[in-house]
Amino acid sequence: MKFSVKNQSVERRNARLRKAFALSILLTLPACSIPTLRCAQPGPVLPQSYNLSTYWNNHPTSWGFGSTSGAQPSASTAQQGSAAETTAANSEIPASPFQLTSAVKPASSLDLQDPSAPNAAPSGGIQGATGYDLGPTDLSPTNLDAPPNLDGSVNTFENSSQIAWCDFFNDPILTGLINQALVGNQELRILAEEIQIASNEVQSRQGEYLPFVTLGAGAGVEKPSLFTRNGAVEDQLEVLPGKAFPDPLPDFLIATNVSWEIDIWKKLRNARNAAALRYLGTREGRNYVVTRMVAEVAENYYELLALDNQLITLDKTIDIQQRSLETANAMKEAARGTELSVQRFQAEVRKNQSEKLIIQQKIVEAENRINFLLGRYPQPVDRISVEYVDLNLHALSVGVPSQLLQNRADIREAERELAAAGLEVKVARARFYPSLNLSAGVGYRAFNPNYLLTSPESLIYNAAGDLIAPLINKKAIRADYMSANARQLQSVYNYQRSILNAFTEVTNYVTKVENYRQSIEIKKQQLDSLEASVDSATQLFQNARAEYVEVLLAQRDMMEAKMVLIETKQQQLSATVKAYQALGGGGVPTRVN
């Protein structure tokens, strides 16, 4: 007898083990068909000779267009930035409805070795910054390592991106226009709503991994057929002795239900963290548009000043040519000249008067471009009156590449998108695994409202748990997984492109500022020679010792040289503004928690 009982116990235990083993096989079988992720192509290799220091170490004062004193901001200036900028740029950005530090750390502050970190940190270390479930050889842009410090110095924060735009542009009228653009520009308002949408998405994702609790009440009536089981049974029932059930039978209900998907694979939390990263990326995207907006307003403003100076140059040239025309008329009347010289001078005056109208039209268009950026209807734009070729901006300091990765808002945006894409791969992978759902409910139910709250007779409750795993026809899950992989590859390539674009822009504008500075110095010398030649040709023509053609050519060359000098100065100022933007300057001050 004892042997039989022991044998039965062993058989029951073995049966339980077989069932558990079969269940584990059934639950893990779907994960065996997860497709292999595709790998990203390696990024470009940085040349060994890459060194921008030659562009400015040989010209220590070129960036300041003169004195470099005060080039670097103080710590307080760099931290405070522009109060107007912060107020204007952030006035329409919705406050985050959640605590980001509890949901996801900023990507630049994460430790790659921290297993709890929700995303990798490309700016802190480029390699392996591709998300999750990829392995050390998958999608790691190993060839995207940032170049060494451009000047071989230690990593400091003394670069122009730390200078607030209100300090970089020392023109109060220009800073006022920039303030108006940051407040009134419609594109920034649209992006503010995009941030609100991203914030709402985070709240939506955050609520998915919490229990869902519903409260409901209902009432109904039912009349079953007596020729059915339910009708036959109810016909024989009595509520109380001698008192049958009502016919038809009312039904009243009030209950609370709870459903909860247990996040055993962190699928829901990863989806929340991915949404939080995209929220951060959306904010960085708006910050990048702010830097672009600052640069566009400044560029159009300096173009407007250049057109004003070209208009002044044309007026002065027309005055000189008018005097030459009067001289030619006087010489013709004195029989010392011909009608041909008068006609040639008259034609030159008319040509410049026509060019003046074209410049005036360009001024109208430049003003309206500024008005559009400011979000207002066409109107005159205030501006300073200054000798354009002598206009100087704040001295620039390039800094080091690691600062470029931290200061460029578009790189930070691509960084957040890359980390979010890695989390979304993990979310898609978790759909291959079983999901655990719990549900429960409690309430009261009765056929008579008087009995509805009678306990325990009217009390109802239930509890259940479901463990569900996909088994066959997983094409949709597999397709979503591969799509997430493809989006992650796009994020990797976009991150590579953002870094390449940043270094390319800095290189282009750094060299452009220096080369145009040297060109301006040479053109000034050319202009001095041409002005002297105009004076000499005019005196010789008045003394009948030179032909009118020589005077015309000298005046034409001088005017063209002045116009080209102004255009070159405008290109230099534009390059300086773009270099400031390329270094990450002009954006909204950011905090790293």
User: How far, in Å, CA of 449 to CA of 451, rounded?
Assistant: 5
pLDDT number for residue 230: 75
Of residues 287 and 344, more confidently modeled: 287
Most confident of the ranges 140-154, 247-261, 534-548: 247-261
Kind plus residue range of the DSSP H or E element containing 466:
strand 459-468
Fold assignment, 211-262+435-468: Outer membrane efflux proteins (OEP) (2.20.200)
CB 195 within 8 A of CB 89: no
Task: Give the pLDDT band (50/70/90) at residue 250.
Answer: confident
Of residues 481 and 116, more confidently modeled: 481
CA 307 to chain centre: 33
pLDDT number for residue 117: 35
- Give the dihedral sign, CA 161/165/168/174: positive
Neighbours of 526 (CB within 10 A): 15
pLDDT number for residue 402: 59
- Which candidate, 172, 182, 193, 184, places its Cα nearest to that of 84? 182
User: How far, in Å, CA of 282 to CA of 325, rounded?
Assistant: 63
pLDDT number for residue 584: 86
- Which candidate, 163, 560, 116, 232, places its Cα nearest to that of 395? 163
Most confident of the ranges 4-8, 77-81, 332-336, 569-573: 569-573
Which pair of structure tokens corresponds to residue 193? 């709503």
Sequence-ordered strand ranges (E) for 24-63: none
- Give the dihedral sign, CA 566/567/573/576: negative
Using alpha carbons, list the distances in angstroms from residue 202 to 188, 243, 281, 368. 21, 57, 13, 39
CB 424 within 8 A of CB 268: no
Which pair of structure tokens corresponds to residue 128? 């392996």
User: How far, in Å, CA of 211 to CA of 205, rounded?
Assistant: 13
pLDDT number for residue 593: 32
pLDDT number for residue 32: 67
Task: Give the pLDDT band (50/70/90) at residue 126.
Answer: very low
User: How far, in Å, CA of 543 to CA of 554, rounded?
Assistant: 17
CB 51 within 8 A of CB 150: yes
Cβ burial of 273 (10 Å; 0-12, 13-18, 19+) is buried
Q: Enter the pTM of the model.
A: 0.74
CB 180 within 8 A of CB 188: no
CB 121 within 8 A of CB 107: yes
Q: Is 361 left (phi over 0), alpha (psi -120 to 50) or beta?
A: alpha
Sequence-ordered strand ranges (E) for 100-222: 212-222
Task: Give the pLDDT band (50/70/90) at residue 587.
Answer: low
Count, residues in the chain? 593
Average pLDDT, the chain: 77
- Which candidate, 163, 115, 101, places its Cα nearest to that of 399? 163
User: Domain boundaries in the chain?
Assistant: 211-262+435-468
CB 156 within 8 A of CB 73: no
Sequence-ordered strand ranges (E) for 228-352: 238-240, 243-244, 249-262
Summarised one tens digit per residue, pLDDT across range 450-509 is 888 877 888 999 999 998 888 777 889 999 999 999 999 999 999 999 999 998 998 899
Rg (CA), the chain: 38
**pLDDT at 88 > cutoff 50:** no
Of residues 508 and 551, more confidently modeled: 508
CB 416 within 8 A of CB 107: yes
**pLDDT at 193 > cutoff 80:** yes
pLDDT number for residue 309: 94
Using alpha carbons, list the distances in angstroms from residue 199 to 173, 268, 276, 426, 430. 36, 16, 8, 21, 24
Q: Which of 27-31, 126-130, 344-348, 364-368 is predicted least confidently?
A: 126-130
Of residues 538 and 352, more confidently modeled: 352
Mean pLDDT over 516-545 rounds to: 87
Most confident of the ranges 145-154, 156-165, 330-339, 429-438: 429-438
Percent of all residues in the chain with a pLDDT value above 70, rounded to a whole number: 73
pLDDT number for residue 472: 79
pLDDT number for residue 153: 34
Residues in CB range of 381: below 8 A, 6 or more apart: 177, 301, 304, 367, 370, 371
pLDDT number for residue 590: 40
Summarised one tens digit per residue, pLDDT across range 304-322 is 999 999 999 999 889 888 8
**pLDDT at 48 > cutoff 70:** no
Task: Give the pLDDT band (50/70/90) at residue 178.
Answer: very high
**pLDDT at 212 > cutoff 50:** yes
